[in-house]
Amino acid sequence: MTLDDAVIARHTVKAFEPGKTLPQDKIDTLLNVLQNSPSSVNSQPWHFVVASTPEGRAAMAKSATAAFIYNEPKIVNASHVIALCIRSDLDEQHLQNVLEQEQKDGRFKDEAAKAGQDKGRRSYVAIHRYEQRDLPQWMEKQVYLALGGLLLGAAMLGIDATPMEGFDQRELDLSLGLREKGLTSVVLASLGVRSDNDFNAALPKSRLSRDEIFTFI
C-alpha cells in the first residue's frame, strides 16, 4: 500500500467486529510509532495505556456512558484500545529522565551539548508554565502529534482505527488509576477489524478542495 492509498482508504471506523484480535507484530509496530513520535524539544510528555484484554477494555469502557454511550461498543469490541495521556506536570524527575536517556542514546558530543539541550528544553517549559500559562495544552499538542502518527501507521498496516474524544476523562482517569501516577487522559484510539455494520466504510471521503486549503507562495 502506498501512502496515497493509505490516506484515502483510512476512515474513522464506527463499528468493530468483536472477538477479532490483531497480530502482535503489527501492534508492536504501532507501539514503535508511538514511542518514536516527535515532540517539542523532545519533551515526550506522554504515557500510553494499552488495553488488549476484555478486562482492560471494560475498564476503559467505564468512561463511555451517559452522553458518550455511543462509543462504548467501539471500545469493548475493538482488539486494542490505547489511552493517550499527558503528565500532570513536566517535573524535575521527568526532565532528568529525558536528559539521561538522550545521554545513553549518544545524543551529545560533549557536556556542553548536553547542558545546551537541557537549558533549551527547560526554557520552553518555563515559557509555557509561567508566561503563556498553558503547559497542559502544550503537552496535549504533543500527544496529538503522536495520535496522527498512530492513525497513519495503522492505515499503512491495513488496521482499522477510531480516535475518540467522546468519553468522560475524569471517569477514565479514576478507572485506570491515572491520577495516582501523575497522568491524565487526553484521547482514545481503538484498533481492530471493522464490522460489516461500519456504515462509514461505504461513504466517500469528503475534504475541502486544495484551492480552499492551500496557499502557495
Q: Tens of pLDDT along 188-209?
A: 999 999 999 999 999 999 999 9
For the annotated catalytic residues, the residue numbers are: 14, 74, 165
Tell me if 17 sits within 8 A of 47, measured CB to CB. Answer: no
Is pLDDT of 31 > 90? yes
Q: Tens of pLDDT along 88-144?
A: 999 999 999 999 999 999 999 999 999 999 999 999 999 999 999 999 999 999 999
Residue 12: the pLDDT is 98
Mean pLDDT of 171-187: 98
Confidence of residue 58 (pLDDT cuts 50, 70, 90): very high
The Cα angle at residue 80 between residues 79 and 84, in degrees rounded to 5: 160
Confidence of residue 1 (pLDDT cuts 50, 70, 90): confident
Taking CA atoms, 78 is separated from 61, 62, 159, 183, in Å, by 11, 15, 11, 24
Helices (H), 127-215: 135-156, 169-176, 210-213
Mean pLDDT of 7-32: 97
The residue length of the chain stands at: 217
The Cα angle at residue 173 between residues 171 and 174, in degrees rounded to 5: 65
Separation between Cα atoms, residue 8 and residue 93, nearest integer Å:
42
How many percent of the chain have pLDDT more than 90? Answer: 100
3-class DSSP state of 77: coil
Separation between Cα atoms, residue 147 and residue 150, nearest integer Å:
5
The Cα angle at residue 187 between residues 148 and 58, in degrees rounded to 5: 125
